[in-house]
Amino acid sequence: MAQSAWDVVIVGAGPAGLSAALVLGRACRRVLVCDRGTPRNRASKAINAFLTRDGISPGEFRRIAHLELHRYPNVARVAAEVTRAARLSDGGFAVRVANRTVTCRKLLIATGVLDRLPNIAGIDRFFGSSVFQCPYCDGWEVRGAPVAAYGKRQRGFEIARALTAWTDDIALCTNGPSGLSRSDKLGLRRNRIRLCEQPILRLRGSDGKLQAIEFTAGEALPRSALFFDTACTDQSQLAASLGCQFNRSGGIRCGQYEATSVPGVFVAGNIIKDVQLSIVAAAEGARAAFGINRSLTREDFSRKASGVRHIEHPTLQIPSGQKRVVANSPSHPR
């Protein structure tokens, strides 16, 4: 194998990529972390439900993570987009970043997703303050309060049902016909969830605080928060361009240690489309780092032992007992 400049290139420095960088740094690997600065939670004020960091601001989280990585001179960071990655004949990768091409032995794609905000006038003014996509992240702060669920068909039903853990004052707003079955509608009624199918005119409130949802027919529904479930978009197409297989939910098919179907390529974080909490993304990053380091160690050991070069890659078949449950809904499993 030709000498690669880096053992590992990590694309994406959210909780997933940063956590992987820490584990790989501590495993004495030469790691390059590339990030273009578009984290999913950039509208958010706090990262909740992250043990020891509950409520920390995303900026402070990154500051601490960068400080910790700074202890490891073998980990470098570049603030730039990776525009291309290609597999080389020796099993390594050529990665195009900041107008240069670097090479590495393993590639970790931790590029995350972006939310598609519902098509409602003025919604971006409230996103991250009183309009959210995940009740596990932001439900506690509005527990018991009047909230709206927003989503079409099954997505709307699922987010409304999920919210019953936090409040019993829920209105499911579908901004037009809900497309729900009679039995779903009955289920909502029996759980005292109001179904509002009227078209929405706009959201009303100030300083990011939602006060009411205004419908085109003139009615205004007082609400303190809105939780939506819409499809989210992968932040990068790198996995697809490398030929990684996808599962039925639109997530990347991965097996043991977050290994993809392409030898040498691993994934971590929201791009997998499993549970989409930051602490889970960080755990997936750590697991991928373990898999990557294990492969590198085994490759080097066997080359020295037998002179044979081969590419070690974890199996796509997850051993029984460790089965990964992948979400039905691409935005958040409930």
Q: Quick one: which segment of 44-52, 118-126, 241-249, 300-308 binds ligand FAD (CB under 6 A)?
A: 44-52
Helix, strand or coil, per DSSP, at residue 316: coil
Between residues 133 and 174, which has the closer beta carbon with respect to ligand FAD? 133
**Other C-beta atoms lying within 10 Å of the C-beta of residue 124:** 12
Among 15, 156, 251, 330, binds ligand FAD (CB under 6 A): 15
Between residues 60 and 219, which has the closer beta carbon with respect to ligand FAD? 60
Q: What are the Cα distances from residue 65, in Å, to 41, 43, 62, 269, 282?
A: 16, 19, 5, 16, 11
Sheet with 170-173, strands from edge to edge, namely 131-132, 225-228, 147-150, 170-173, 194-196
Residues of span 107-126 touching ligand FAD by CB under 6 A: 110-112, 115
Between residues 46 and 288, which has the closer beta carbon with respect to ligand FAD? 46
Among 175, 230, 276, 329, binds ligand FAD (CB under 6 A): 276
Residues of span 68-107 touching ligand FAD by CB under 6 A: 81-82
Q: Applying CB under 6 A, what is the total number of residues that bind ligand FAD?
A: 43
The answer to whether 39 contacts ligand FAD (rule: CB under 6 A) is yes
Element (H, E) at 15: helix 15-26
Residue pair 114/233 in contact by the 8 Å Cβ criterion: yes
Binding mask 137-176 toward ligand FAD (x if CB under 6 A, else -) reads xx--------------------------------------
SS3 for 215-270 is ECCCCEEECCEEEECCCEEECCCHHHHHCCCECCCCCECCCHHHECCCCCEEECCH
The answer to whether 25 contacts ligand FAD (rule: CB under 6 A) is no
Q: What is the DSSP string of 37-57?
A: S--TTTT-S-B-S-TT-TTB-
- Tokens coding 101: 């091409």
The answer to whether 289 contacts ligand FAD (rule: CB under 6 A) is no
Nearest distance from residue 36's CB to ligand FAD, in Å? 4
Binding mask 227-266 toward ligand FAD (x if CB under 6 A, else -) reads --------xx------------------------------
List Cβ<8 Å contacts ≥24 apart for 212-219: 213/148, 213/171, 213/173
The answer to whether 270 contacts ligand FAD (rule: CB under 6 A) is yes
Residue pair 321/333 in contact by the 8 Å Cβ criterion: no
Between residues 104 and 188, which has the closer beta carbon with respect to ligand FAD? 104
The answer to whether 277 contacts ligand FAD (rule: CB under 6 A) is yes
- Tokens coding 331: 């935005």
Instruction: Name the CA radius of gyration of the chain, rounded.
Output: 22
Measure the CA–CA gap between 204 and 209, rounded to whole angstroms. Answer: 9
Q: Quick one: which segment of 35-43, 158-166, 216-224, 258-266 binds ligand FAD (CB under 6 A)?
A: 35-43
> Binding residues for ligand FAD, per CB under 6 A?
11-17, 34-41, 43-44, 46-50, 81-82, 110-112, 115, 128, 132-134, 137-138, 235-236, 269-270, 276-279, 281
